Structure 1
Amino acid sequence: MGVTGHGVTDVVGKGGSFVQTKAGEKPPPTSSLNPNWAQLQAKLKTGTGKPRARPIQSSTANVNHEKSLLGKRKERSDEESSASALAVLTPKNSDCSLTDVVAMDCEMVGVSFQGSKSALGRVSLVNSWGNVVYDEYARPLEYVVDFRSEISGIRPHNLRKAKDFHTVQKDVAQLIKDRILVGHALHHDLKALLLCHPKRCTRDTSHYLPFKNKEGKTRALRDLAKEHLGVEIQRKQHCPIEDARAAMLLYQKYRKEWEKHVKEQRRFSKKQRRRKIAKKQTEKD
C-alpha cells in the first residue's frame, strides 16, 4: 500500500490490481485467492461457462411414453394370439370329401310375431378335418321379422337368392345320414331343420358330461373352445363354420374317452332293458 497526493491511498485489490481510496475510507477487503480461482468465480457469477442444464422430462411424459410402449407390445400380443387362434381352427389340409364324422351348426332368424320364433337362416357342415362340405343360406317358410344380424351375421340380401327351406333340408338329411353328427346343442339345429338323428350317432358337446360345469349345467361353446382349445370364438357375429370346426376339434381331442363313455352308456342301457323285460316276465308268471 502507498500514499499519493491529495490524501489518496493505493491499495492492492483482487487479482493483484491497484485500487485507489480516499483518506479515511476503509480499504476493500483483500483476498488471498488464486487468480485462476478468482477468474472461475467471476465466470460463474456472470453465467459464462455455466454447465448446461439437462431438460427435465415430466413424470407424465415418462408415464405416457411407457404406456405407449406397453400398448404397442399389448397390441402385438393380441394380434399374435388372434393369429394363433385362427391357426387352431384352420384345416390342416384341403380335403373336402365327406367323412364318417361331420359337424354342423346353424344360424337362425326371427319369424312370427315380433320375431320371437326361430327359423333356419344358414346351415354349415364340415368334415373331420374342418373343411366345409356344405354351407348354404336358407329362405324360411315364414316372413322374416328379425334377421338378428348382430349375432347371426345374416342380412336381407343373403336370403334374396338363397335356396328354399325344403331344398336345404333335403340336402342336409342326405349328408348326415348314417354318419356321426357333431355339434353344440344339436337339438336346436335339428328342430330348425325339422329333422331327427339317431341318438347313438349324435355327439353333442352340450351333453357330454366332462364338458358340463360342477352343477351339471351346460356350458357355452365359446367357453369350451377357450378352455380346451385355447381359441376365442363368437366374439361378435357368430360364424356357423367356425362354430362347427370348434365342435369338431373338441370331439377329436377327446374322441377316445368320449367313445368309451358312449359304449358304457349303451351297456348300461342294455342292462336296464333286460332288467325291465325280466321284471315283466316275473310279474306275468
Structure 2
Amino acid sequence: MPFLQRTESVTRSAIGSCPDICVSLATQTVLSLEGYILARVTVVDYGGDILLDTLVIPRSRVIDYCAERTGFNESHFIAGGKIRSRISISRSSENLPGHILGFEITRQRVAQHLRGKVVVGHRLWVSLDALRLSHPADKTRDLATYFPLLAALPSSSDQDLQDGFPILVQEFMHRTIRKGFENSVEDARAAMDLYRSCRDNWEHLIAASFWPSLTPPREFFQCYT
C-alpha cells in the first residue's frame, strides 16, 4: 500500500522552504440519483489565497440539495455562468462564487492545481471521489487521519471523523467554523491553517520514514496512487 511507504519526494525542509508546493482542497456535495455529487469546489494556496472556487453544474439529477447543510437550492445551479441568487453562509464576508462551471472543466482545472502538489484537507477521499480524481498518497496530508489530531476526538469512527473537523479547528486553532452553512472556502482555509500549525512535526515524522496517519476507508483506495 502506498500509505505505508516512505515519502522520498516531500521532506520537512522542502515544504519549509517551498510552501508553494502545498494547496488545500475542499468540496461540497448534493445528493443525486447516482449518490453524492460535486456541487462546489475550492482550492487555496499555502497562504489561504483562492486559486479556484466555483459552483459545479450537477452531472445528474439532484434529488436533495441538502439545504440544511449547504444552503443550496436549484436556483444556484443554472448554466450560462451566472447565479440567480445568493445564500447566507458561515462567514458574512464570503459569498458564493459568481460563476458556475460544468463538471469536466472543473475536474480539469482542479487537476491542474493539484498536479505535483502536496494536498491538504479533511477527509480528502470524499473530495477526490466527488471529483473523480486520484492523487499520490504520499502527497496528501489528511487532517482526518493524522494520529496526533485524532487524539483530540472522542472516538475514531467514520461518523466522528466526518463531524470532527469543526472540533479539531476549535481545539487547535481556537476558531469556530460552520456556524451556519458549510463553506468550502472556509473549510479549505481552516484545513491549511491547521496543517501549518503542526507541519513541522508532521513532515519530520515522514522524513524519518514514519507515515503518521491512518489509511483512508478501503472503498476509496482508488482515489490514491
Residue 106 (structure 2) pairs with residue 185 (structure 1):
no
Question: Paired residue for 1:231, among 140, 150, 175?
Answer: 175
- 267 and 235 in structure 1: CA distance in 2 versus 1, 3 angstrom threshold: closer
Q: Distance in 1 between matches of 2:113 and 2:125?
A: 17
Q: TM-score, normalised by structure 2?
A: 0.70
Question: Paired residue for 1:112, among 33, 43, 67?
Answer: 33
Q: Distance in 2 between matches of 1:142 and 1:198?
A: 28
Partner residue, 1:263: 207
Partner residue, 1:125: 43
Q: Distance in 2 between matches of 1:176 and 1:267?
A: 21
**Alignment length (residue pairs):** 168
Deviations 1:185-209 (A, max 9, x none): 0001100000001011100000110
Secondary structure in 2 matching 1:133:
strand
- 166 and 267 in structure 1: CA distance in 2 versus 1, 3 angstrom threshold: closer
Question: Paired residue for 1:103, among 5, 24, 44?
Answer: 24
Deviations 1:155-177 (A, max 9, x none): 22221032111110011001100
Q: Is the 8 A contact 2:205 2:211 kept in 1?
A: no
- How high is the sequence identity, in percent, across the aligned residues? 28
Q: Distance in 1 between matches of 2:154 and 2:62?
A: 37
Give the letter for the 2:46 counterpart: S
Partner residue, 2:218: none
Partner residue, 1:13: none
Q: Distance in 1 between matches of 2:202 and 2:117?
A: 16
Larger relative contact order (CA 8 Å, sep ≥ 6): 2
Deviations 1:3-49 (A, max 9, x none): xxxxxxxxxxxxxxxxxxxxxxxxxxxxxxxxxxxxxxxxxxxxxxx
Deviations 1:76-95 (A, max 9, x none): xxxxxxxxxxxxxxxxxxxx
Higher radius of gyration, 1 or 2:
1
Q: Is the 8 A contact 1:153 1:239 kept in 2?
A: no
Secondary structure in 1 matching 2:69:
helix
Q: Distance in 1 between matches of 2:61 and 2:211?
A: 47
Give the letter for the 1:181 counterpart: V
Q: Is the 8 A contact 1:185 1:206 kept in 2?
A: yes
Matches within 5 A, 1:206-221: 206-213=144-151, 217=156, 219=161, 220-221=164-165
Q: Is the 8 A contact 1:150 1:236 kept in 2?
A: no
Deviations 1:55-79 (A, max 9, x none): xxxxxxxxxxxxxxxxxxxxxxxxx
* 5+ residue gaps, structure 1: 1-97, 269-285
* 5+ residue gaps, structure 2: 1-18, 80-99, 213-225
Partner residue, 1:244: 188
Deviations 1:222-252 (A, max 9, x none): 0000010000111220010001111100110
Give the letter for the 2:137 counterpart: K
Q: Is the 8 A contact 1:225 1:232 kept in 2?
A: yes
Q: TM-score, normalised by structure 1?
A: 0.56
Partner residue, 1:253: 197
Q: Is the 8 A contact 1:130 1:245 kept in 2?
A: yes
Query: Which structure has the highest helix share of the two?
Result: 1
